[in-house]
Amino acid sequence: MAKPIKRQSMRGFSHPLLAIALLACSAPPASAATKPPVVVELFTSQGCTGCRQADTLLSEYAEAKGVVALAFSVDYWDYLGWRDTFAQPGFSDRQRAYADRLHIRGVYTPEIIVNGRSEAAGLDREKIDRLIKAAAQGREHGAPRLTFAHHGAKIQVGPGEPPSQGADVWLVRYDPKVEEVKVTAGENKGKTISLRNVVHSLLRLGSWSGKRRTFVTPKSETPGLITLVLVQGAKGGPILVAAKD
């Protein structure tokens, strides 16, 4: 298990966010409408001073067309004095899987992962913009089609070509509203943390080997959450396709 690396002081980038049109697919409107979104994952913590700016930046990406922005709260900074109210061990494990596959020395916050393929420091707006634009213009080879059925109770994964290491089907549920947390201890003591698109649950539905499969999607126990399904290479591999219910 990778240990947290020492966080470094980072300054935000002052130039504005790339236009939403540049973040979206540059294909003609007819094909752009059917193209899967780019998945931007922020690994963050309420106990990390540098994460507050990254949380704000993710809120901007949440408004971008063709992008699904997700905030995963990790638990490995809890020892600093504040227990993150949204953190789950599985979210930290997901980040560690990315670190292993992308050959990153260790996990840290804030960190951005784009489509499971590339990473950037969570405040490096310029690099994140480049990664999103590149992902929007590309296509994942062999990606299946995702279809929700029975009012979202089932997800159908069509045929395709899986990665050599296999693929997993993940169910993600997140809150599109802004959630505020008053921190009373640790590095952010006295601060109010504002987060958007906070992930509340991450569930592996099963594997996908290239053949058509149907998975049951459990009913959400929390009202108002958005359901997102990912087909992703195993062990932190690239995201082949994503779809929201």
Q: What is the pTM of this model?
A: 0.86
Q: Is 181 inside any structural domain? A: yes
Handedness of CA 46, 57, 126, 171 (dihedral sign): positive
What is the model's pLDDT at position 183?
97
Looking at the domain assignment, is residue 78 inside a domain? yes
Q: What is the pLDDT of residue 1?
A: 43
Contacts with 176 (C-beta within 8 Å, 6 or more apart), sequence order = 62, 196, 197, 224, 226
Instruction: Please indicate, yes or no, if residue 84 is contained in any of the structural domains.
Output: yes
Residue 138 in any domain: the answer is yes
**Residue 133 belongs to a domain with what CATH number?**
3.40.30.10
- Return the pLDDT at 34: 66
Nearest to 39 by CA among 112, 93, 96, 125: 112
For residue 98, the enclosing domain spans 36-244
| pLDDT tens profile 205-227 | 999 999 999 999 999 989 999 99
Task: For residue 164, tell me if it sits in a domain.
Answer: yes
pLDDT, tens digit, for every residue of 23-54?
443 333 333 346 899 999 999 999 999 999 99
Within-domain flag for 162: yes
| Domain count within the chain | 1
Tell whether 236 is covered by a domain: yes
Residue 1 forms part of a structural domain = no
